[in-house]
Structure 1
């Protein structure tokens, strides 16, 4: 039977971590809920959950599930704001679903709702789409009677993340096109132009330039070079994969990432924005601070920051103010810590966290825009230099041949 590793919290807010044997991921979630635990991270212990293709789905999921969750949340928020009854809203969504996956998702929820099950429990049965922290927010909204407001907050949260992903992907299109075109240019030069020029040197008796000899050897032995490169790359990836299965190694690597000159500040802003927006959303929904902080911690991808947040949660559980615990760990930017301190002292922590998230997201997007603006001309100049370095030996060879013929 497969073994799943989980992180969860109990009804008293205490943190729990361990493994559970179950036939599937859904069965493992059900087993923890029956024990009074609310899981917010779950992955297979046999297949490292830290690999990118097996990462747990947290507030947005990945791929098609992330799109389904965003579409459902956005449309359901509008219907709830219009004060349409829950079952009627689900029927409308089922009829207007933009994809068969979304239609099946809504159909399953509607079936459970008509059988008398609360919406949060119905979502729990589809935990592959609805992560535990999402369900916790919905359950808090049901308890406090603020379900419409909760879905508005969740829709804004998911849409802001989707917008950032879309802008990054759009910004990467042109640099990727430049790289592809440069590779095509290199293939034409090495595979077509150089072989056509090489016989001229043999016929004239003039020694062939070293650069052209090198490119000819590259063209003749490209299969061996490609195979050797693939073997070396596979070995490196295998070594990295084995090393990163160790949580301590992953944490150290994530710590080193934060110390990189430009990338480190960007990663810190991104992780802080995710944490602040998720925590602010959950607090607005009425989720207790400890429980909300544990769920918000699950959206953090950097292990070093997540370890610091775990210590922050433990300190808050012992009675320390959130801003003091965060300041002791220094896992957030200084301006974010100051804003959180003001919000906590004024009793408006949820609003201030949302403002912190908006500020950090804007800074992140501004940094991305500046980086992409600098990346495009840098790639253009670099590719021009690389192609020029290959073309110059060819031009020198052609000129030397012309001089020889002229004599």
Structure 2
């Protein structure tokens, strides 16, 4: 089989597909030493909007299929750009196509659109270009992105449900204290009824809320702003992420998500031909958690000094012992990428089970909490009426 046939089968990136004869030419980019690509500076002419991972996954899978079918790269991008419903994604595809027509490689063109294609994406594409297996790499990338989206949605569902219930409870309580309780208070004053202790507490809360509500709202948004500013600092991000990992219930889920993401990212990079040190460097930048990021950087530094990956990974204290043991086994057998992907699959299933279990526990607890709070307020406001009715019936 000649080189052109191989290039056509694997969808190898072509360096010159500008116009005319160049559109049909298939000059493969020669293999080169892979280096982690830094994201290019964003142009200042207009604000660039980020692309949703779901749109990126669809684009990546479609591009993989087209390249595997033997279509020239520029033609693939033209077709995908015309059919792309998301304007941000369409703009990114068009910009990449123009860069390639100007002579850039696909990886270099992607690196200039960092709002759509991150460091991991561009480095894996570079590996695919160098190895002549771009279609295979794009398939792995689309699978990776889809699994990332699923992981994030699982964590989001675990966070959104209790947050939504608590928010609704807070709104209901505020409305009752702000609007309903004052009406009952005026009624009781007109009747000259004596108020029991629970009712007096609720009335006091209602009176205080009327004056304190602006300060409470301002304090809530102010605290959120300050927390966001604090999280933007290196020390603050490390402190907050460490606290999240140690939280009851949700902390275990976040740790499993972090382990799954680490293993999936590094395993995908290694199986795509990215060297281990470069893979760890990229993985640390895409970890999504400062604690995991620091641990991966520590592991990378130890490997640079000649150690294996398993021992420093175990010494970080961040990853479960089973993970370091399985990685050590994969490293000793020369199947590290396969082992990492198996670990990722295991922990992704663990996250699925943990989220379902958490929601099963939280649902009755939150409903009971909402019932106790709202029901307690309502009962306390009706207690004076019950007292009056009992007095009237006794007379």
TM-score, normalised relative to structure 1: 0.78
Structure 2 match to 1:227: 214
| Count of residue pairs brought into register by the alignment | 355
- 1:317 correspondence with 2:330: no
Q: Distance in 1 between matches of 2:120 and 2:250?
A: 28
Q: CA deviation at 1:283?
A: 0.8
Q: Tell me whether 1:39 sits opposite 2:26 in the alignment.
A: no
- Correspondence list, 1:135-214, <5 A: 135-170=122-157, 175=162, 178-179=165-166, 181-183=168-170, 185-187=172-174, 189-214=176-201
Corresponding residue number in structure 1 for 2:73: 86
> Cα distance, 1:397 vs. partner?
1.4
> Contact 2:128 / 2:272 at 8 angstroms: preserved in 1?
yes
**1:108-130 CA distances to partner (integer Å, 9 max, x unpaired)?**
22222223321111112212211
- Among residues 316, 331, 347, which one is paired with 1:329 in the alignment? 316
> 1:126 aligned to 2:77?
no
Report the Cα offset of residue 317 of structure 1. Answer: 1.3
Contact residue 39 and residue 114 of structure 2 kept, 8 A: no
Question: For structure 2, which runs of at least 5 residues remain unmatched after alignment?
Answer: 1-34, 43-47
Give unmatched runs, 5+ long, in structure 1.
1-35, 44-56
Q: Distance in 2 between matches of 1:125 and 1:395?
A: 66
The question of whether the paired residues in 1 share the 8 Å contact of 2:261 and 2:287 is answered with yes
Distance 1:162-1:304 versus aligned 2 partners, 3 A rule: closer
Q: Which residue, out of 248, 255, 263, partners 2:242?
A: 255
Provide the secondary structure at the position in 1 that maps to 2:38.
Answer: strand
Q: In 2 relative to 1, CA 41–212 (structure 1 residues): closer, same or farther, beyond 3 Å?
A: farther
Per the alignment, residue 19 of structure 1 pairs with: none
Paired with 1:91 and 1:41, the residues of 2 have a C-alpha distance of: 23
Aligned to 1:21: none
- Superposed CA offset, 1:297-347 (max 9, x none): 111232222222111101111221111221222321122112211111111
Say if 1:260 and 1:220 are closer, same or farther in 2 by CA, change over 3 A. closer
Query: Deviation above 6 Å: which 4+ runs of structure 1?
Result: 40-43
Choose between structure 1 and 2: higher strand proportion. Answer: 1
Answer whether contact 1:198 1:208 (CA < 8 A) is retained.
Answer: no
- Please point out which of 360, 370, 395 is paired with 1:373: 360
Q: Does structure 2 retain, via aligned residues, the 8 Å contact 1:269–1:333?
A: no
Match of 2:99 in 1: 112
Alignment partners' CA distance in 1, 2:276 and 2:347: 21
Does the aligned pair in 2 maintain the 1:41–1:298 contact within 8 Å?
A: no
Give the 3 Å change call, closer, same or farther, for CA 192–328 of structure 1 in structure 2: closer
Distance 1:270 1:72, change over 3 A: same
TM-score (norm 2): 0.80
Change (3 A) 1:184 1:296: closer
Q: Which residue of structure 1 lines up, in the alignment, with residue 12 of structure 2? A: none
Aligned to 2:82: 95
Q: How many angstroms does 1:243 deviate by?
A: 4.8
